[in-house]
Structure formats: C-alpha cells, structure tokens
Structure 1
Amino acid sequence: MESVDRTSGSADVAALRDVAVSIIDISSDVRRKSHNETGVRPLSNGLLEILRVIENHPGITVAEAAARLGRQFSNVSVQLRELVAAGLVTRIRDAADKRYVSLHPTAESQRIKVLLEGAWADALATASGRLSPEERGQIAACLPALRRLAAILAEPE
C-alpha cells in the first residue's frame, strides 16, 4: 500500500484529512437522518460493511470478505452469523468441496439495500437543497474521482 509523504505536500495531507473527516461525517449523518423513514432494523457499521461487500461481490468467501475489510476472519465469521440469522445473507456450500462456502445476499437484503440507498439519496437531496447551484455542480463534478477513489479503497489489502 502506498503512503503519503507527510513531510512534503502538507497542504495536500491536510486537505485529504479534511476530505476523510467530511466523508465520515456525511456518512454518519446520512445514515442517522435517513434510517427512521425506512422501517429497517438498524445495522451496526460493521454488519453493514460486511453486507455491502457481499452485495457487491456475490459468491465471496468469508476469508475474502475479511481480507477486503482488513479484519480478522473470526470476527467477520461471528458477525456473518448475525446476518444469516437476520435472513440477509445465505451461505452456499460447494457440491464438490464442502469446505468451500460462498456468501450471497438474499432478496430481503436487496430490498433493504434499495430502501436504504433511496433514503440516503433523499437525505442528501434535502441537505443539498440548501447549497447553491454552483456547489451542487461542484459535488457532481467530483463524482467520477470519488467513485475511482472508492474503488481503490475497496481493493483487498
């Protein structure tokens, strides 16, 4: 993993810190403000992260999910049991090799994903209504770079 040279470009490091803090704050506030309207049982950040990895990579194994999240296999396995019990994830054993188990989102998981992502969009739409048209344009212009950054960050470590 590449790291930022903190001795040069301190303005860049400070700007990246500000971006990271803003993203975390926006994420927390969007989740909090949008959850009540969905009627969906709140999921912890850890469970939601696992679920989103499985939704984005159907058929992934527990070990692969743990690697993508940078977490211990045993911790992911424990949280995965909760997602299976909630009917959000299914485990499918390979017919040829019973040790191999793939993880798949359920129809309920997909339904909740659509509800939550819609509620998140609504929360952002409400808040962005208070921005100027220029500010909304700046956010839209950043989307390709933010998507690329998200893809890089999602790569297994």
Structure 2
Amino acid sequence: MESAGAKEGPTEAVDHRALAVSVLDISSDIRRKSHNDTGVRPLPNGVLEILRVIESHPGITVAEVASRLGRQFSNVSVQLRELVAGGLVTRVRDPADKRYVALHPTAESQRIKALLEGAWAEALSSASSRLLPEERQQIAASLPALQRLAALLAEPE
C-alpha cells in the first residue's frame, strides 16, 4: 500500500521497523561510546530531549516543549527544574504577561552541545571508517532524506 504523497511508479519498499531499530541502536551506542571522553555529566535521555528542543527553539514555552515531546506538562516542568539548576536553561518572564515564560539555552548549554555533537561525530566517524566505501557513500547520499525525516518527526502532533 502506497502512502499519501508517494510518487507514481515503482518504488523501493522501506522496512520502517528495521530503520527505526537501527536509528535507535545507533543513537544509544553513539551516546554510550562518546560520553566518557567529554567530561560532561551524563544527562538522562528525557532531560537531553528537553534541552535539544529548547536549543532548537529558543524562547519556547514549557507547554510547547511538552507538546512537541508528547509529554505531560508537569513531567517536563520537573525535568526543566534540573536543567535550570544545572545552569543549562534560563527562564525569562514576559514583562507584559507574567504567566508567559520563555525558555532559552545558556552559553554553557551551547558549549556542552558542541562538545557532545563533536564526540558523537567522532564515534560515527570511527565506526564508519570500517564500512565499505560504497556503504559510506550510501549513508552520505541518504543524509538529506534522513534530516527531512527527522524534521517531520519533530513537528508537534
């Protein structure tokens, strides 16, 4: 069965289950193999996801973060307190509407983001150096589609 928006004609079927499992395994292994050399205190996955949303959308509200992640407001609020206490996120109240609180990453958050992303890239580079050249080319060619897929998945529901 073809999905909406699919092009007419023959297409290669994507094994979405295998893709999902591979992406999750890669993500988990990248974090595990790269974190030790950064000197950064490990953040639980849920807290890291919140931080990444705030870094991608400075000025976002707690409710918007919760909506993007499909989580309860109260749970996000509790984890957000950890990020604020750790100096990774600031809360800025709107002077015109005191109920509105915008979330922003700090300079320390940006430093840690760059450090972690560099370590993640190194872990991937090390592993991919053992792939065949054709396999590395396939991964490089698929990167724009994977980035677009990630953007679509990140959209609020």
> Could you tell me the TM-score, scaled by structure 2's length?
0.92
Count how many residue pairs are aligned between Structure 1 and Structure 2.
148
Q: Alignment partner of 2:59: what SS?
A: coil
**Corresponding residue of 1:62:** 62
1:107 counterpart = 2:92:
no
- Residues of 2 paired with 1:71 and 1:12: CA distance? 32
- Residues of 2 paired with 1:99 and 1:144: CA distance? 39
**Corresponding residue of 2:144:** 144
1:40 counterpart = 2:40:
yes
Q: Alignment partner of 1:104: what SS?
A: strand
Cα distance, 1:12 vs structure 2: 4.3
> Could you tell me the TM-score, scaled by structure 1's length?
0.92
Cα distance, 1:27 vs structure 2: 0.2
**Corresponding residue of 1:25:** 25
- Residues of 2 paired with 1:49 and 1:105: CA distance? 13
Question: Which residue identity does 1:92 align to in structure 2?
Answer: V
1:119 counterpart = 2:123:
no
Q: Cα deviations across residues 24-56 of structure 1 (Å, max 9, x unaligned)?
A: 000000000000010000000000000000000
- Residues of 2 paired with 1:65 and 1:152: CA distance? 16
- Residues of 2 paired with 1:21 and 1:67: CA distance? 24
**Corresponding residue of 1:7:** none
Question: Which residue identity does 2:96 align to in structure 1?
Answer: A
Q: Alignment partner of 2:81: what SS?
A: helix
Gapped regions of structure 1 (runs ≥ 5): 5-10
- Residues of 1 paired with 2:133 and 2:114: CA distance? 27
Gapped regions of structure 2 (runs ≥ 5): 4-11
Runs of 4+ aligned structure 1 residues displaced above 2 Å come to none
Q: Give the percent of matched residue pairs that are identical in Structure 1 and Structure 2.
A: 80
- Residues of 2 paired with 1:126 and 1:144: CA distance? 21
- Residues of 2 paired with 1:128 and 1:18: CA distance? 19
Q: Alignment partner of 1:58: what SS?
A: coil
Q: Alignment partner of 1:90: what SS?
A: strand
**Corresponding residue of 1:8:** none
**Corresponding residue of 1:135:** 135
- Residues of 1 paired with 2:107 and 2:125: CA distance? 27
- Residues of 1 paired with 2:13 and 2:64: CA distance? 33
**Corresponding residue of 2:6:** none
- Residues of 2 paired with 1:27 and 1:52: CA distance? 14
**Corresponding residue of 1:90:** 90
